[in-house]
């Protein structure tokens, strides 16, 4: 059994090293010529966040005459609709013809009049150069999808800092995978794509409009890029409660059983088995082996996360990293299992696996 655990750990270490190398080889995106595009924002009950997002969009360092703004309402029952109408932007404000973000995005794409689509979420904050940097890669005609960096802000306690580290590892791994030409993950809070490659995939699954689109682009040999520039970072808030955090991660993990992309399947399985092996060592009281494995894994994780922290400008104490390393195996195994047999809620709706 120790030999099997050792092999799993070795495979994990090689995987993380490859993502670290891929991250380092990603070119920094620079400002370039302006292109016409459509910005899509699907929203549901976001009256708290919409004024800030609208302000960020109004202050973009980009000729707004070249931008079509489309906001798609997913059955809101608050004042979101009215708030959007007060913006100085020219906005196409439409209602979704179905339930959920996927249906809203599909409706928005159908309304778009430009070939390039840029998406973000209503609860996000944007830099002034966000549009410019996210569309810059499309000056290359063969670029079909651009993934952008997403980070958490408002890290005023250790719980939120742990979330930020874990989320950063996901964004960094997805970017590193793009860097080694094995893309498997992106985040719809900061993503751009061409309408010609759009496909509303896996309609029976509430989540994953971003990841499944990336898999679709990859399957069709489309070129995928990552906007590696600090001014391209989109930021959002971490979850304030443990239940909200776990529910979000269950929603994200619920789609993994529907992955058809080999890279995504392999990474999901490897992460699950490596962390399950740590739990097995703990239960079987093989504490020496467990300690050695933990130390080796932690060193590799720390080196990768330190590199990412420099880019995202995170100043997170070392004890927060230690907390994440200790709880991660138990948390990720529980999320992986519960996401496939349980339910989760999203925007006031309840979904069952």
Q: What is the pLDDT of residues 146-157, one digit of tens each?
A: 999 999 999 999
Integer CA distances (angstroms), 226 to 188, 232, 244, 266, 330, in order: 13, 10, 29, 21, 31
| More reliable by pLDDT, 237 or 348 | 237
Q: Which of 278, 283, 281, 254 has the alpha carbon at shortest distance from 268? A: 254
Confidence band of 200 (pLDDT split at 50, 70, 90)? low
Q: What would the two tokens of residue 176 be?
A: 């590193």
In degrees to the nearest 10, what's the CA dihedral of 121, 126, 129, 130? -20
Question: Do β-strands 343-346 and 349-352 pair in parallel, antiparallel, or remain unpaired?
Answer: antiparallel
Q: What would the two tokens of residue 191 be?
A: 């993503």
pLDDT at 65 over 60: yes
Q: What is the pLDDT of residues 284-332, one digit of tens each?
A: 999 999 999 999 999 999 999 999 999 999 999 999 999 999 999 999 9
Ramachandran sector of residue 73 (left: φ over 0; alpha: ψ -120 to 50; beta: rest)? beta
Q: How far apart are CA 310 and CA 163, in angstroms?
A: 17
- Distance separating the N- and C-terminal Cα atoms of the chain: 33
Residues 6+ apart with CB under 8 A from 64: 89, 90
Q: How far apart are CA 111 and CA 35, in angstroms?
A: 18
Residues 6+ apart with CB under 8 A from 109: 40, 117, 195, 198, 200
Confidence band of 1 (pLDDT split at 50, 70, 90)? confident
Confidence band of 351 (pLDDT split at 50, 70, 90)? low
Tell me if 148 sits within 8 A of 29, measured CB to CB: no
Tell me if 253 sits within 8 A of 336, measured CB to CB: yes
In a 3-state reduction of DSSP, which class is residue 229? Answer: coil
Q: What is the pLDDT of residues 226-270, one digit of tens each?
A: 999 999 999 999 999 999 999 999 888 888 888 889 999 999 999
pLDDT at 282 over 60: yes
Tell me if 227 sits within 8 A of 179, measured CB to CB: no
Report the chain's mean pLDDT, rounded to a whole number. 92
Q: How far apart are CA 117 and CA 59, in angstroms?
A: 19
Domains and CATH numbers, the chain: 2-22+258-352 (no CATH), 27-240 (3.90.550.10)
* Beta bridge mates, 193: 117, 145
Q: Is 175 exposed, middle or buried (0-12, 13-18, 19+ CB in 10 A)?
A: buried
In a 3-state reduction of DSSP, which class is residue 127? Answer: coil
What are the two backbone dihedrals, phi and then psi, of residue 27, each rounded to the nearest 5 degrees? Answer: -75, 150
Q: What would the two tokens of residue 141 be?
A: 């005609």
Portion of the chain with pLDDT greater than 90, in percent: 79
Q: How far apart are CA 308 and CA 88, in angstroms?
A: 37
Q: How far apart are CA 351 and CA 345, in angstroms?
A: 6
């Amino acid at each position: 059994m120790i030999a099997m655990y050792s092999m799993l750990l070795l495979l994990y270490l090689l995987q993380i090293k490859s993502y670290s190398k891929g991250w380092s080889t990603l070119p920094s995106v620079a400002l370039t010529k302006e292109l016409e595009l459509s910005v899509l924002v699907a929203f549901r009950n976001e009256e708290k966040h919409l004024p800030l997002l609208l302000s960020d969009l109004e202050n973009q360092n980009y000729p707004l005459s070249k931008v079509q703004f489309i906001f798609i309402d997913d059955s809101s029952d608050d004042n979101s609709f009215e708030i959007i109408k007060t913006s100085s932007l020219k906005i196409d404000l439409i209602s979704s013809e179905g339930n959920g973000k996927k249906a809203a995005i599909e409706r928005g794409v159908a309304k778009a009049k430009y070939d390039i689509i840029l998406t973000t979420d209503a609860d996000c904050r944007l830099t002034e150069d966000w549009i410019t940097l996210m569309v810059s890669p499309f000056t290359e005609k063969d670029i079909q999808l651009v993934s952008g960096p997403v980070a958490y802000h408002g890290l005023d306690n250790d719980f939120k800092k742990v979330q930020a580290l874990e989320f950063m590892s996901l964004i960094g791994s997805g970017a590193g995978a793009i860097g080694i030409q094995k893309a498997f993950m992106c985040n719809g809070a900061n993503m751009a794509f061409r309408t010609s490659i759009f496909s509303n995939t896996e309609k029976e699954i509430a989540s994953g409009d971003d990841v499944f689109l990336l898999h679709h682009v990859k399957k069709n040999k489309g070129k995928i890029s990552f906007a590696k520039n600090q001014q391209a970072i989109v930021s959002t808030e971490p979850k304030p409660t443990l239940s909200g955090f776990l529910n979000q991660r269950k929603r994200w993990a619920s789609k993994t059983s529907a992955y058809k992309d080999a890279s995504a399947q392999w990474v999901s399985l490897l992460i699950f088995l490596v962390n399950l092996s740590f739990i097995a060592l703990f239960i079987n009281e093989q504490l020496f082996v467990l300690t050695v494995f933990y130390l080796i894994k932690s060193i590799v994780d720390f080196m990768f996360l330190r590199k990412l922290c420099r880019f995202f400008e995170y100043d997170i104490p070392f004890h927060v990293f230690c907390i994440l390393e200790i709880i991660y195996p138990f948390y990720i195994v529980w999320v992986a299992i519960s996401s496939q047999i349980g339910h989760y809620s999203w925007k006031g709706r309840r979904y069952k696996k």
